[in-house]
Amino acid sequence: MANITINEVTKKYADHIALDRMCIDIPEQCIYGLLGPNGAGKTTLIRILNQITAPDSGEVRINGELLSQKHIAQIGYLPEERGLYKKMKVGEQAIYLAELKGVKKAEAQKRLKTWFDKFEIGGWWDKKVEELSKGMQQKVQFITTIIHDPQILIFDEPFSGFDPINANLLKEAILELRDKGATILLSTHNMASVEELCDCITLINHGKSILQGRVNDIKRQHDTHQREIIVRADDPNPIYALGDTYNNIKVEQTDLPDETKLTLFSADSNELIARLLGIGQIVAFKEVLPSMNDIFIQEVQSQNQAS
Amino acid sequence: MNKIGLIIKREYLTRVRKRSFLIMTFLGPLLMAAMYIIPIMLALNSGSSSQNMRIAVVDESHWFEDSFKSNEQRTFVNMPGQPIDSVKEMVKTGVFDMALYVPPTQLNIPSNAVVYSIRQVPMEMETYISSVMQKEIEDQKLMAKGVDPEIVSAVKTSVNLSVMRMDEKGNEKETFTQVQFTLGIVLALLVYMFIIFFGGQVMQGVSEEKTNRIIEVIISSVKPFQLMMGKIIGVSLVALTQFVLWILLTGVLYVGFSAFVGLSNPEILSQGTLMSQEITSTDIVNNENVQNILQIVHSIDFGTIIVSFLVFFILGYLLYATLYAAIGSLVDNNTDSQQFTLPVTVPLMVAIISSFYIVNNPDGALSVWLSMIPFTSPISMMVRIPFGVPIWQIVVSVLLLAATFVLMTWLAAKIYRTGILMYGKKLSYKEIFKWLKYK
Smallest CA–CA distance, residue B193 to chain A, in Å, is 26
In chain A, positions 98-137, which contact chain B (CB-CB < 8 Å)? 99-101
**Structural domain A4-220, CATH architecture:** 3-Layer(aba) Sandwich (3.40)
pLDDT of residue B167: 66
Predicted confidence (pLDDT) per residue in A135-151, tens digit: 888 889 999 999 999 99
pLDDT of residue A288: 85
Average pLDDT score, chain A:
89
pLDDT of residue B360: 86
Closest partner CB to A83 (pick from B213, B222, B224): B213
Residues of chain A neighbouring B209 (CB-CB closer than 8 A) = 85
Give yes or no for a contact between A96 and B222, defined as CB atoms under 8 angstroms apart: no
- pLDDT tens string for chain B (439 positions)? 588 999 999 999 999 998 888 898 888 778 776 776 676 666 655 544 456 788 888 888 877 878 888 877 788 888 888 888 888 888 888 888 888 888 877 656 667 888 888 887 777 788 888 888 888 888 888 888 888 877 877 877 777 777 776 766 666 666 667 777 888 888 888 899 889 999 999 998 998 888 888 888 898 889 899 999 999 999 999 999 988 888 888 778 777 766 766 554 544 444 444 443 444 333 444 455 556 666 666 666 777 888 888 899 999 999 999 999 998 888 876 556 777 888 888 999 999 999 888 888 888 899 999 999 999 999 999 999 888 888 899 999 999 999 999 999 999 999 898 888 887 666 777 777 777 776 5
User: How many helices (H) and strands (E) would you count in chain B?
Assistant: 16, 6
Residues of chain B neighbouring A85 (CB-CB closer than 8 A) = 14, 209, 212, 214
pLDDT of residue B273: 47
CB contact under 8 A, B221 and A84: no
- Letter for the amino acid at B43? A
> In degrees to the nearest 10, what's the CA dihedral of B200, B201, B202, B205?
120
Residues of chain A neighbouring B423 (CB-CB closer than 8 A) = 81
CB contact under 8 A, B212 and A79: no
Residues of chain B neighbouring A140 (CB-CB closer than 8 A) = none
Give yes or no for a contact between B11 and B231, defined as CB atoms under 8 angstroms apart: yes
Q: Exposed e or buried b for every residue in A79-118, given b needs 16+ CB within 10 A?
A: bbbbbbbbebbbbbbbbbbbbbbebeeeebeebbeebbee
Predicted confidence (pLDDT) per residue in A93-131, tens digit: 999 999 999 899 999 999 999 999 888 888 889 999 989
CA distance A203 to A45: 13
Give yes or no for a contact between B102 and B137, defined as CB atoms under 8 angstroms apart: no
CA distance A75 to B233: 28
Predicted confidence (pLDDT) per residue in A73-82, tens digit: 899 999 988 8
pLDDT of residue B283: 42
CB contact under 8 A, A54 and B213: no
Predicted confidence (pLDDT) per residue in A261-297, tens digit: 888 888 788 888 888 888 888 899 988 888 888 888 8
Closest partner CB to A100 (pick from B209, B222, B224): B222
CB contact under 8 A, B421 and A47: yes
Task: Indicate the CATH number of A226-288 among 3.30.70.260, 3.40.630.30, 3.30.43.10, 3.90.1150.10.
Answer: 3.30.70.260
Give yes or no for a contact between B439 and A54, defined as CB atoms under 8 angstroms apart: yes
pLDDT of residue B272: 46
Smallest CA–CA distance, residue A50 to chain B, in Å, is 6
CB contact under 8 A, A100 and B212: no
Give, in order, the Cα–Cα distances in Å from A92 to each of A125, B210, B332: 8, 20, 26
Lowest average pLDDT, out of A84-88, A235-239, B49-53, goes to B49-53
Give yes or no for a contact between A267 and A288, defined as CB atoms under 8 angstroms apart: no
CB contact under 8 A, A86 and B220: no
Of the pLDDT bands very low, low, confident and very high (cuts 50, 70, 90), residue A8 is: very high
Could you give the residue range(s) of every CATH 3.40.190.10 domain in chain B?
A: 53-155
CA distance B161 to B29: 35
CB contact under 8 A, B214 and A77: no
CA distance A134 to B38: 52
* A56/B contact by beta carbon, under 8 A: yes
Q: Exposed e or buried b for every residue in A211-232, given b needs 16+ CB within 10 A?
A: beeebeebbeebeeebbebbbb
Parse chain A into domains and list their residue ranges: 4-220, 226-288
Closest partner CB to B221 (pick from A72, A81, A83): A72
Smallest CA–CA distance, residue A306 to chain B, in Å, is 30
User: How many helices (H) and strands (E) would you count in chain A?
Assistant: 10, 14
C-alpha dihedral sign at A45, A49, A54, A59: positive
Of the pLDDT bands very low, low, confident and very high (cuts 50, 70, 90), residue A247 is: confident
DSSP state of A68: -
CB contact under 8 A, A83 and B219: no
User: Sheet of B114-117: strands edge to edge?
Assistant: B74-78, B53-59, B98-102, B114-117
CA B285 to chain CA centroid, nearest Å:
24
The beta-carbon contacts of B343-348 under 8 Å, at least 24 apart in sequence, are B344/B199, B344/B320, B345/B196, B347/B375, B347/B376, B348/B192, B348/B195, B348/B196, B348/B320, B348/B375, B348/B376, B348/B379
Smallest CA–CA distance, residue B429 to chain A, in Å, is 14
Give, in order, the Cα–Cα distances in Å from A299 to each of A46, A204, A212, A305: 22, 10, 11, 10
Which of A100, A148, A153 to mutate against chain B (most B CBs within 10 Å)? Answer: A100
Which homologous superfamily does the CATH classification assign to the domain defined by B53-155?
A: Periplasmic binding protein-like II (3.40.190.10)
CB contact under 8 A, A101 and B221: yes
pLDDT of residue B50: 53
**ipTM computed for the complex:** 0.80
CA distance A249 to A242: 9
State the average pLDDT over residues A40-66.
Answer: 91
